[in-house]
Chain A
């Protein structure tokens, strides 16, 4: 019996081994490749590399908008979950403490000073590949700002061996005092530890409450009883709560366990810390200190305290997700009645995410902070190069526009489409055409964190400006930290956009407008190139960045580009008489000799008087234009009729968008169809008062027709080659006879020589032009215009100056600005551009 039983026992053991053996075969042989795939998927991740946007430069190559290397600070949520968060936060405190030392410089654009103490050996010694690569990126981009220096030279063998610092490499003129300061600041490392503890306490109450009055949070913590802790659902949550309490009270975890077990009905805090007063006092003390320190960090990091706390709170929120998901589960099954205090369904219902992800702590951290992260390789914190759009000056903003985060819906749509294509590609039934779409989506499709042109030229030329995203295959560890870069394709920077605009004219125009509401448009005659497209009033960058809503609400509408947008509708005034003159001559209604009788006013009925600027008597086209005689053009308009006027206005490009490439208004020309229309309306239309609205750009376009020989040239902001695929032909011959043009040109020269624009020395530039004043009410001057070109015999440039609601005659307001523009243009020509 004994032997047989031993044999049976041996059989049982053999059976157990057989089971394990079968399972082993199943996993390693049968499912081997599947599990290998899973392993690869877990450890190798494709990371996109964001591309820099192209620059926008003016015709001389001056950058107007450009990306500068910026560094964003990310934290990896996985680290915070694994409980090393305190160390990382301590590291954070170093970063912002170091930041305090150079806070005077608000822009950190090219602060090469801060990177000087770094040696290439320091960087090579950084353990994390990712941080090392970013450090190199940073140094490289810094060195590229310096003339004739190459990063390769610095990182080459000679420098690496000798331990030259970047400072020594660049030159002796900069001081290395910064490192000493960083060293000093390392001493109070535990600052953030305390901050973290406070935030833990805050978890149970509202954040704002704690900041205003820490005792609110304390009371909540002080009231936690042992039985509440043991009543939490799920052991993990309970353990978490106990650890939190231990951390919060600064006592051993075992002690908390013991109190929870032995004194379920009593407050854990009081049991752990003594009497109520003792406990309150001790915790108050800690909290006060922490709030003070938080404020200090907030101050040196240039951020609001509440913002700082919220950012950190978000990080901690991620760290809490595991607990929260548990609570959420519990709450959905048990209902709100059983909710432990301080935990709500809303709190728990937020999305649960896998810890392999990053959370952005701060955008554009200063370089010395980058240095701290690099040199200490703080776990869980990652610096990533994310370029930041800088703009030359705020006056360019209205034209260039700005970038912003892309529309959430578009990101989601892109993502969905991309993943659909990817699954199809994996199945292998992806047509070639869609393959290129997939490539395009991967490289250029919008993703979270991108910035995309949201206004102005940034938006129009988005396709050109946006670069191609690169990617990087990285090996990563359990918590998502990059260990090694396996393969990398660098991102491709977007193309530069060269504008036809000349910043000197642009700046001068803005200065000349002097915050009055108005616009200046300068076109190259014959080419249609926009040399200047300025609008006023402007705004400064600070208020743009911080007070955008206020800017939008401002009733002076500074965000509006007045050269192309018409907030209420601008009337062209007497400048429209140019169109009338051409129309009259071309339709054969008048010749240069035909005259009308001006009696100073017209009075069709008893109600309204249609005035002229003076009593001109018998007047022909030439003098009517120079003196801007209204009655002449009333009569001309009357003979033409509103339909003809409208036709000719449209021929000159009014009522349609010019297609310049920024968001613009088309303007409107009214006509009698379907409307009550009297003779007075025709008269108004004839002299550009009422019934027609235009933009300054359209007026400039009209004048350039006269200036360069009867062709409508589309104004353009980018040179011809760059803006190729326009459906409109950019040059339309209007079929205006040579004779008509000469007549009108002579009349316009007369305006400058003897007429309404003669007083301000425009003659010096042999200019021709027309002034205009649109009156809306009896005493309110709505808009004043000057539009002209020079030199009269071979026009090079068309200048349009427009001012809104500015008192004073055209001679005092717009003509001097025009003169300045001509002066600037011709003097820059003399300098040979």
Chain B
């Protein structure tokens, strides 16, 4: 409990922030608006608006005219996410980090609960139904919690450059990942791992440890493939590696249709809401995982490239925050958020372009779905939080002991 005492004593003695004596002062510090990173905020907002537009466009169907309700629901989610964003920004991130272990344990509990009592959809239990038909995927919410808890561990509990190196962060990630994989939702579980790898890397883990992890993975891969995976998962990997023409209605069908949609968009695209393949319902699930295909058809190369650039800008600005901030925890959080955006963007867009296997990974900020939106908004909130509260830290180097 040394950590708790340490931070608490800091606070009692006036805290890292001297103006915390009043309750209001705790949340609203002078100069807060000047420190808001409008680049990150603006990029996020633009992405969310594009997302809402294309969810609307993807709901236009010549087959079933009428309201599908998805766009308005997405707007509700966006409204909710603004609230969540404010909450995450206002609570000092150091507190969140301090409580991260509690969050982590809570997360494990929720994941376990979901495994047994979650809502069954498409053969797996991923959903926790909330009020009024809104549901959450706890597996998505795991990402910010993981970022926080890993930042805490790497900052206060564990030396990543020790011989055991990556073991502790990977184990911490492995427990929720296992729970998620058992839902079963392998893709989401696998996407947890870039976070500890990136955080440890930035925190100074030895390259030797990475080689060791890579070696272990290589050795473990074949047995996992043959004994650890379910049939449909194996099928999908097989379909990706050896595509079969005969199986035109399966997962391959989606990727094929997605590629046709993106390709037929050409340079300028067909115009918002004008894509014939989109309107004729050729690609199922296009509001969620395949929203990028709709953008490809309707806004063409220009639109897709812009969206990719926006994402790149977002990721780079998050990393920029990490560079500017001196406090190690804040740095790690910013790096973690950058990773948690960059990797799903890559996996999702590569999938729609036929360069990666079909997985149920949504495109951050764009795909329809509340959980993913909330998760990534929380991440952005954390980065803003870090950027707002540049705690002065006395240290010799960046991460040196």
Contact = CB atoms under 8 A, between A and B. Distances in A.
B41 interface: no
B11 interface: no
A478 B282 contact: yes
A236 B346 CA distance: 29
A548 interface: no
Contacts of A483: 62-63, 280
Interface in B285-309: 296, 300-301, 304-305, 308
B280 A27 contact: no
A6 B332 CA distance: 10
Interface string B353-375: 11100000000000000000000
A789 to B, nearest CB: 72
B111 interface: no
Nearest to B296: A28
A325 interface: yes
A33 B339 CA distance: 35
B157 interface: no
B338 interface: yes
A226 interface: no
Contact of B266 (A19, A21, A32, A478): A32
A6 B323 contact: yes
A484 B276 CA distance: 12
A19 B355 contact: yes
B308 A20 contact: yes
A33 B284 CA distance: 23
A77 to B, nearest CB: 12
Contact of A28 (B202, B304, B339, B398): B304
A234 to B, nearest CB: 7
Instruction: Tell me if B's interface is mostly helix, strand, loop or mixed.
Output: helix
Interface string B384-401: 000000000000011100
Contact of B231 (A3, A19, A234, A484): A234
B353 A234 contact: no
B115 interface: no
A24 B304 contact: yes
A453 B358 CA distance: 53
Nearest to A36: B264
Contacts of B139: none
Contacts of B399: 1-2
B368 to A, nearest CB: 19
Nearest to B341: A13
Contacts of A234: 231, 235
Interface in A499-547: none
A601 interface: no
Given A235-B230, A254-B120, A325 B264 contact: no
Interface string B326-351: 00000100010011001101100110
Contacts of B259: 27, 35
Interface in A118-159: none
B267 A29 contact: yes
B34 interface: no
A29 B301 contact: yes
Contacts of A32: 263-267
A9 interface: yes
Nearest to A21: B308
A28 B322 contact: no
Contacts of B355: 19-20, 23
A17 interface: yes
Contacts, number: 161
B319 interface: yes
B235 A235 contact: yes
Interface in B28-69: 62-63
Interface in A221-241: 234-236, 238-239
A355 interface: yes
Contacts of A477: 62-63, 280-282
B249 A36 contact: no
Interface in A1-48: 1-3, 5-6, 8-10, 13-14, 16-17, 19-21, 23-25, 27-29, 31-36, 38-40, 42-43
B160 to A, nearest CB: 11
Interface string B262-278: 11111100000000110
B305 A10 contact: no
B204 to A, nearest CB: 6
Interface residues on B, range: 35 or more
Interface in A207-255: 234-236, 238-239, 254
Contact of A24 (B63, B120, B305, B322): B305
B266 to A, nearest CB: 5
A43 B267 contact: no
A355 to B, nearest CB: 7
Contacts of A23: 350, 353-355
Contact of B232 (A2, A17, A19, A235): A235
Given A9-B319, A24-B308, A2 B331 contact: yes
A40 B198 CA distance: 44
A6 B339 CA distance: 11
B250 A236 contact: yes
A28 B293 CA distance: 11
Interface stretch (B18-26, B94-102, B172-180, B310-318): B310-318
B5 interface: no
Nearest to A321: B249
A39 B304 contact: no
Interface in B231-279: 231-232, 235, 246, 248-250, 259-267, 276-277
Contacts of A325: 246
Interface string B207-249: 0000000000000000000000011100100000000001011
A795 B249 CA distance: 76
Contacts of A13: 312, 315-316, 319, 338-339, 342
A476 to B, nearest CB: 7
Contact of B263 (A3, A28, A43): A28
Given A20-B350, A355-B249, A235 B265 contact: no
Contacts of A14: 312, 316
B103 interface: no
Contacts of A746: none
B305 A21 contact: yes
A19 B350 contact: yes
A81 B249 contact: yes
The residue in A5, A14, A24 that gathers the most chain B C-beta atoms within 10 A of its C-beta is A24
A10 B265 CA distance: 30
B201 interface: yes
A389 interface: no
A35 B230 CA distance: 33
A122 B41 CA distance: 53
Contact of B349 (A20, A39, A236, A476): A20
B263 A34 contact: yes
B104 to A, nearest CB: 24
Which of the listed residues A28, A234, A476 has the most CB atoms from chain B within 10 Å of its own CB?
A28
B13 interface: no
B312 A1 contact: no
Given A5-B204, A20-B346, A25 B235 contact: no
Given A2-B399, A28-B304, A354-B248, A43 B277 contact: yes
Contacts of B281: 477-478
Cβ-closest 3 pairs across A and B? A35-B263, A2-B398, A235-B231
Given A1-B204, A9-B319, A23-B353, 20 more contacts: A2-B202, A2-B399, A6-B319, A9-B201, A9-B338, A17-B312, A20-B345, A20-B355, A24-B262, A25-B301, A27-B259, A28-B266, A28-B304, A34-B263, A36-B263, A36-B266, A39-B276, A235-B231, A235-B235, A477-B282
6 contacts: A2-B202, A17-B311, A32-B266, A35-B262, A43-B282, A477-B281
Interface of B: 62-63, 120, 123, 198, 201-202, 204, 230-232, 235, 246, 248-250, 259-267, 276-277, 280-282, 284, 296, 300-301, 304-305, 308, 311-312, 315-316, 319, 322-323, 331, 335, 338-339, 342-343, 345-346, 349-350, 353-355, 397-399
